Structure 1
Amino acid sequence: MKAGGIMENSLHLKIITPNKTFYDGDIDSVIVKTTGGERQILKNRRPFSAEIIEGNIKIKSEKSTELVFSTGGFISSEYENVVILTKMAKNVD
């Protein structure tokens, strides 16, 4: 771990809707469905941007895997940061 408790191999993910920041935390990877197919984003990947389609976003961390349903939107990643903009997001049970 780095100083401050941040994992060395972690990404910082934000999922933002028009009303709020739905998710803001450190993760190991995120998997989204884009118009070009399914993509997994890991730390230190070259910058990447794409349109995402409606479906589940899979958020993986050391402790768990979370599913978040999204109505689609846009993803942008740069090395250690990932931002997903979507009209609506909700947790999948």
Structure 2
Amino acid sequence: MNNEYNPDLVTLISDEGEEIEFEILDIIENDEGKFYVLYPYYADPADAVNDPGEYYIFEVQEIDGEEELAEIEDDEKLDRIAAIFEEEYNKELFDEDE
């Protein structure tokens, strides 16, 4: 039996042109749009030790027929999407413990 974990990854390019790899924690689709919840990915777990543990939420925008991820400018919308993610995450975490 193979118990190896293979995360879903996406690479984003920063404003400075740096490629940053993220693990996709969740994709949320609702009446406000489609959102990706991402967490920095570290190939070497030792590199994650100093990570502050913050996740990021990006909104999907269609540009020239292709999906692109963009920062959410509306703080209230960001808070609503974060609340949805955290509620689902906590529910999954609780269900695993039962």
Q: Normalized per residue, which structure has more helix? A: 2
Structure showing greater radius of gyration is 2
TM-score where L is the length of structure 2: 0.28
Q: Normalized per residue, which structure has more strand? A: 1
